[in-house]
Amino acid sequence: MKKNVIAGLDLGTTKVCAVIAEQVENNLNILGFGVAPSEGLNRGLVANISKTAEAITEAMNIALNRAGLQVKEVNVGVAGEHITSLRHRNYVTISNPEKEISQQDLDRLRADVQTIRIPSDRQILHIIPEEYSVDHQGGIEDPIGMCGSRLEAVNHVVLASIPAIQNIKKSVERAGYIVKDYVLQPIASSFAVLEDNEKDLGVLLIDIGGGTTDIAIFHRRSIKHTKVVGVAGNQVTNDIRETLGIVTADAEKLKKEHGYATEHAIVRDEDIFIKGVGGRGNVKIPLSLLTQIISVRMKELFSIIDNELRHAGFKNKIKAGVVLTGGGSLLKGCTELAEEVFGMPARIGVPLDLGSGLSNEVESPEFATVAGLIRGIPGSRSEQFTTVKTTGKESKLNLGKTFKRIQEFFDKL
């Protein structure tokens, strides 16, 4: 019996997450979920292939054992400061006698984008149409079936470092799996935590991980801008460690158990105890001091993103506010600080509509990316972007719709 099985793998700086799900009609059934500590990545980049492969193996084994099946291919999330994006406008002429636009014409548009000049150490990760124009009539979402002589598209093109992608590929293959598709992490997260009306009105998604913070801007239901920032949860932990003179594990524990992103969110200031190093005894500090340490770094992060918003020209187009997700968004007071810095409403993004099975285990902001990697919603605009996959040193354009391919994972088990 054939099963429509989807496998997602999120390679994070602090943890590797794997999820196995089955698509049953329009619903998901999460069969297995696994998490393993990650020691082989730094700021979203593979720093040690062997350690990364070990973490992948551990996370996948947990997920597969719980699912009770085996898979060979996985959909992998990609992040890191090497990610860049650009907007590219191109067109093709419609030459058939009826002047009717077909899928073949869209494929020609996408193939043309693949020929643009980019740095030799970069490859195209995604080609995402923002909007189409037919004979200079703009604002068209789906031109198939329309008549015209000229089909034009504005595309959001995501670029990635070739060595970075190759190191991910080697790590996954060393663990015994094949990369089916690479998906930019904030795009994957957006599938899991954003609502369609937010994407239409204009929304800023901020995915705060351990090593990097990924942002994506949506407006009029299409992605407009992506960026990866090298300030995230690990920097906050390191600030606590350096300022208070404690080991990293204790700093991380302090952050998670007592940390606030802003002093305004503290209900009552109280003393907390930190473990001394060596022969030193425990030290008592006020909660407000810990919060001040955290707040400086978090405010810096949000200010960097706010400047990026202004520079990209989207500050006034974000009408639905800010959605915070990723493990870093679990910091108490995060939404209050975001509202203060951005001057707009903010909420925490939790994976939505995950269906049955083990979905309750994935319903947390820290699992937004891996939850998005298994989301293939028929008819959504998320299907319209194209993933460009690398095999060895060559890149080829995959003309199928990415998330339709995800739904067709593993016909034979």
Domain presence at residue 145: yes
Residues 214, 339 within the same domain: yes
Nearest to 387 by CA among 203, 200, 160: 160
Q: Identify the domain boundary among 136, 160, 184.
A: 160
Residues 124, 208 within the same domain: no
Instruction: Give Cα 301 distance to the centre of its chain.
Output: 17
Residues 145, 248 within the same domain: no
Residue that is written with structure tokens 């997700």 in the block? 325
Q: Identify the domain boundary among 106, 135, 160.
A: 160
Domain presence at residue 7: no
Domain presence at residue 228: yes
Write out 208-248 in H/E/C secondary structure: ECCCCEEEEEEECCEEEEEEEECCCHHHHHHHHHHHHCCCH
Please list the helix, strand and coil fractions of the chain in percent, rounded to the nearest 5, in that order: 35, 35, 30
Q: Give 128-195 as a DSSP string.
A: EEEEEEETTEEEES--TT-B-SEEEEEEEEEEEEHHHHHHHHHHHHHTT-EEEEEEEHHHHHHHHH--
What's the rounded Cα separation, in Å, for the pair 378 and 396?
Answer: 25
Each residue's pLDDT expressed in tens, for the chain with a length of 413 residues: 457 898 999 999 999 999 999 887 777 788 999 999 999 999 889 999 999 999 999 999 999 999 999 999 999 999 988 999 999 999 999 988 889 999 999 999 999 999 999 999 999 999 999 999 999 999 898 999 999 999 999 999 999 999 999 999 999 999 999 999 999 999 999 999 999 999 999 999 999 999 999 999 999 988 999 999 999 999 999 999 999 989 999 999 999 999 999 998 888 888 888 877 766 778 889 999 999 999 999 999 999 999 999 999 999 999 999 999 999 999 999 999 999 999 999 999 998 766 655 567 788 899 999 999 987 433 233 344 445 544 333 333 333 333 344 344 334 34
Nearest to 145 by CA among 110, 109, 106: 106
Q: How many CA atoms lie within 13 A of 234 on its CB side?
A: 18
Give the domain CATH number at 132. Answer: 3.30.1490.110
User: How many domains does one find in the chain?
Assistant: 2
Residues 207, 95 within the same domain: no
Domain presence at residue 363: no
What pTM value is reported for the model? 0.86
Residues 154, 207 within the same domain: no
Residues 136, 202 within the same domain: no
Residues 200, 345 within the same domain: yes
Structure tokens at 168: 């991910």
Q: How many CB atoms lie within 10 A of CB 230?
A: 14
Residues 213, 331 within the same domain: yes
Domain presence at residue 141: yes
Q: How many CA atoms lie within 13 A of 226 on its CB side?
A: 32
pLDDT of residue 362: 81
Q: Identify the domain boundary among 329, 349, 369.
A: 349
Domain presence at residue 123: yes
- What sign does the CA torsion over 42, 47, 51, 52 have? positive
Residues 137, 233 within the same domain: no
Domain presence at residue 46: no
Residues 152, 227 within the same domain: no
Domain presence at residue 139: yes
What's the rounded Cα separation, in Å, for the pair 362 and 368?
Answer: 8
Residues 140, 246 within the same domain: no
Residues 231, 144 within the same domain: no
Domain that holds residue 153: 84-160
Give the domain CATH number at 210. Answer: 3.30.420.40
